[in-house]
């Protein structure tokens, strides 16, 4: 069996997460790590047998014959690396979101349309058993509307609080909920968003992201949705998920469980598998086979979710509803 050789960019939380999963897989090795300094890259690489550290991305690609690359970097660092990987025909996995604005993702999407390549994006909730189960049963329901939310504390990493680096909470976190709605319901035709600064900007000078927001969505099917988010809650307090109202049930999904409530019964579907493992497994299988059918979120698919986030930001700036071109 061939060994799949992986390079990882970034030495933070999510590089660690994927590196641990990948190195636990049969036939997969993390052989290279690229960080913002040689020292950080080497320190990270030391954890994995035979892995080498690099501070320059192109040097890493020149020196190592990689079968795939993971880009686990903050939103502002996306763009040139993906374009370089497309040029070199190296499959890549990127953590969501695809960028701060739509500009670089648009360039990458166009390059991938011209030269298809195996890609995957870290919208891992798609791999949840509960989401797969829901996707299947929704064939027999008519969805009327959906409400969703991502309520929590502000993440501690410094780039997250800076609008120019992270793109704000809708781009950074709530994108997961919007992506699930797209996955389950279909494409979006119009959005209108409102945001505010209630707490966090008063606590620190460097907070430029909004800390409360609400988003109305119109889907092509006629389904309407509202998605809200806040990052003002104390650490440890959160409410993440969505509720669907259909012609047969109230369906509540959270990262913990799926509850389907009809007039007669209440069914609880727990998740038992690790969705991060499943998404990494799907990407490795796609590298090996050259086919990406098992990948539930490709770059081209995630690009459509990024277009919604971009429209959300436009709506905030223009104080108006924004139509998405089909």
Rg (CA), the chain: 20
Produce one character per residue of 28-55: b if its CB has 16 or more CB atoms within 10 Å, e if not: bbbbbbbbeeeebbbebbeebeebbbbe
Q: Which residues contact 11 (CB under 8 A, 6 or more apart)?
A: 33, 35, 36, 40, 41, 43, 44
Helix count (H) and strand count (E) of the chain?
12, 15
Under rule CB under 6 A, residue 36 binds ligand NAD: yes
**Residue of 19, 31, 34, 259 interacting with ligand NAD (CB under 6 A):** 34
Contacting ligand NAD (CB under 6 A), which of 6, 7, 8, 10? Answer: 10
Q: Is residue 157 involved in binding ligand NAD (CB under 6 A)?
A: yes
CB nearer to ligand NAD: give 259 or 302.
Answer: 302
- Applying CB under 6 A, which part among 29-37, 109-117, 144-152, 302-310 lies near ligand NAD? 29-37
Whether omega for the bond prior to residue 117 falls within 30 degrees of 0, making it cis, is: no
DSSP string covering 36-68: SSHHHHHHHHTTSTT-EEES-HHHHHHHS--SE
How many residues bind ligand NAD (CB under 6 A)? The answer is 21
- Tell which residue, 225, 209, 241, has the closest CA to residue 100: 209
82 binds ligand NAD (CB under 6 A): no
Nearer Cβ to ligand NAD, position 217 or 302? 302
Task: Check residue 75 for interaction with ligand NAD (CB under 6 A).
Answer: yes
* Cβ contacts of 39 within 8 Å, gap of 6 or more: none
Which residue in 4, 6, 7, 11 binds ligand NAD (CB under 6 A)?
11
Kindly indicate which of the ranges 9-17, 206-214, 246-254, 300-308 contains the residues binding ligand NAD, using the contact rule CB under 6 A: 9-17
Site mask for ligand NAD (CB under 6 A), range 172-191, x = bound: x-------------------
Q: Are strands 188-196 and 322-323 parallel, antiparallel or unpaired?
A: antiparallel
105 in contact with ligand NAD (CB under 6 A): no
Question: Which segment (5-13, 112-120, 244-252, 312-320) binds ligand NAD by CB under 6 A?
Answer: 5-13
Closest residue to ligand NAD: CB criterion: 12
| 79 contributes a contact to ligand NAD by CB under 6 A | no
Binding positions for ligand NAD, 110-139, rule CB under 6 A: 122, 124
Question: Cβ closer to ligand NAD: 53 or 122?
Answer: 122
Q: Pick from 33, 73, 287, 296 the residue near ligand NAD by CB under 6 A.
A: 73
Task: Kindly tell me the burial class for residue 208, based on how many C-beta atoms sit within 10 Å of its own C-beta (0-12, 13-18, 19 or more).
Answer: middle
CA dist list (Å): 16 to 123, 237, 301:
17, 24, 25
| Size of the chain, expressed as the number of residues it contains | 326
59 within 8 A of 81, measured Cβ to Cβ: no
Residue 9 binds ligand NAD, judged by CB under 6 A: yes
Expressed in angstroms, the distance from the first to the final Cα of the chain is 43
Q: Is residue 35 involved in binding ligand NAD (CB under 6 A)? A: yes
The smaller minimum CB distance to ligand NAD, of residues 215 and 240, is found at 240
Contact residues for ligand NAD, defined by CB under 6 A: 9-15, 34-36, 72-75, 77, 95-96, 122, 124, 157, 172
């Amino acid at each position: 069996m061939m060994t799949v050789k992986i390079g990882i960019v970034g030495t933070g939380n999510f590089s660690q997460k994927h590196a641990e999963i990948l190195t636990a897989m049969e036939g997969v090795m993390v052989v290279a790590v690229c960080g913002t300094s040689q020292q950080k890259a080497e320190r990270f690489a030391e954890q994995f047998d035979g892995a080498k550290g690099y501070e320059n991305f192109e040097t890493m690609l020149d020196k190592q014959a990689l079968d795939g690359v993971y880009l686990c970097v903050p939103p502002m660092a996306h763009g040139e690396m993906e374009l370089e990987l497309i040029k070199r025909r190296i499959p890549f996995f990127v953590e969501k979101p695809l960028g701060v604005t739509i500009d670089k993702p648009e360039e990458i999407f166009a390059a991938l349309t011209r030269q298809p390549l195996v890609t995957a994006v870290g919208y891992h909730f798609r791999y949840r058993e509960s989401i797969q189960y829901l996707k299947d049963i929704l064939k027999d329901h008519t969805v009327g509307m959906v409400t969703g939310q991502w309520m929590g504390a502000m993440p501690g990493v410094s780039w997250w609080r800076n609008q120019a680096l992270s793109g704000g909470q809708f781009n950074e976190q709530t994108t997961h909920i919007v992506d699930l709605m797209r996955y389950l319901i279909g494409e979006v035709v119009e959005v209108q968003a409102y945001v505010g600064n209630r707490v966090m900007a008063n606590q620190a000078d460097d907070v430029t992201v909004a800390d409360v927001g609400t988003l109305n969505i119109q889907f092509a099917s006629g389904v309407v949705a509202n998605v809200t988010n806040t990052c003002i809650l104390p650490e440890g307090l959160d409410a993440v998920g969505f509720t669907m109202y259909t012609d047969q049930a109230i369906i509540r999904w959270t990262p913990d469980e799926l509850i389907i409530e009809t007039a007669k019964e209440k069914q609880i579907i727990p998740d038992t598998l690790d969705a991060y493992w499943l998404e990494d497994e799907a990407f490795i299988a796609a590298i090996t086979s050259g086919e990406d059918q098992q990948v539930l979120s490709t770059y081209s698919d995630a690009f459509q979710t990024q277009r919604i986030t971009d429209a959300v930001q436009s709506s905030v700036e223009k104080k108006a509803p924004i139509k998405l071109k089909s």
